[in-house]
Amino acid sequence: MTVSTSTYRTPARWLHWSMAALILAMIPAGVIMIQEGLNRPLQNTLFIFHKNVGVLLLLMVALRLLYRWRNPPPPEPAGLPGWQTKIAGMTHMLLYGLLVLMPVAGYTRVKAGGFPVETLDALGVPSLVPRSDALAAFAKAVHYYGSWAIAILVAMHIGAALFHRFVKKDAVFARMWPGAST
């Protein structure tokens, strides 16, 4: 299939949509797994999913940023007001920042607290942070406030994407989902 240069390239789109699906699962998993009185086996499954998929997301965002550096996004669609492209650009940068911060804080909270990250442990990866209750408590707070920030930004981002797709019916959504009729 030929893809016009006004759309994101195929690897960028695959990474965007697979990361989006994982993040949309990670946020509720994180919230549900810390609820008091939750059924134990379900809680363990959610914790294992959350920790290991969180580490996978860190690798995916590193890949995405590397790919983005070598293959910059397509030029902005013509006719978008400057303030909108500025806000979109800032939101995207903040999302990338949080997508690095959240796994790093989560990993630090778990490892400094003396808990496992199953896949990394099975691969023999040594802990990259020292065992420290103070560090674990700090990382836990960073992860907690970061989770609010990422949830709010993701909601704004999805709202903006759907607004472009269904209300303004312009070319923005189709940049990430080619074939979406405008």
Complex with ligand HEM: residue 27 or 135, whichever CB lies closer: 27
Q: To the nearest whole angstrom, how small is the minimum distance from the Cβ of residue 39 to ligand HEM?
A: 17
**CA 171 remoteness from chain centre:** 24
Complex with ligand HEM: residue 16 or 168, whichever CB lies closer: 16
Which residue's entry shows tokens 């804080």? Answer: 105
Q: Closest Cα partner for 12 from 90, 75, 66, 52? A: 66
Q: To the nearest whole angstrom, how small is the minimum distance from the Cβ of residue 85 to ligand HEM?
A: 8
Q: To the nearest whole angstrom, how small is the minimum distance from the Cβ of residue 65 to ligand HEM?
A: 8
Q: To the nearest whole angstrom, how small is the minimum distance from the Cβ of residue 83 to ligand HEM?
A: 15
Q: Count the Cβ atoms, other than its own, within 10 Å of residue 140.
A: 16
Interface contacts to ligand HEM, rule CB under 6 A: 16, 20, 23-24, 26-27, 30-31, 34, 50-51, 54-55, 57, 68, 73, 92, 95-96, 99, 102-103, 106-107, 109-110, 117, 140, 143-144, 147, 150, 154, 157-158, 161-162, 172-173, 175-176
Complex with ligand HEM: residue 14 or 144, whichever CB lies closer: 144
Those residues with Cβ within 8 angstroms of residue 113's Cβ, 6 or more apart along the chain or in another chain: 131, 133, 136, 140
Which residue's entry shows tokens 């550096």? Answer: 69
Which residue's entry shows tokens 């949830």? Answer: 151
Q: Fill in the amino acid letter for 100.
A: V
Q: Closest Cα partner for 74 from 131, 22, 129, 8? A: 8
Complex with ligand HEM: residue 36 or 41, whichever CB lies closer: 36
Q: To the nearest whole angstrom, how small is the minimum distance from the Cβ of residue 57 to ligand HEM?
A: 5
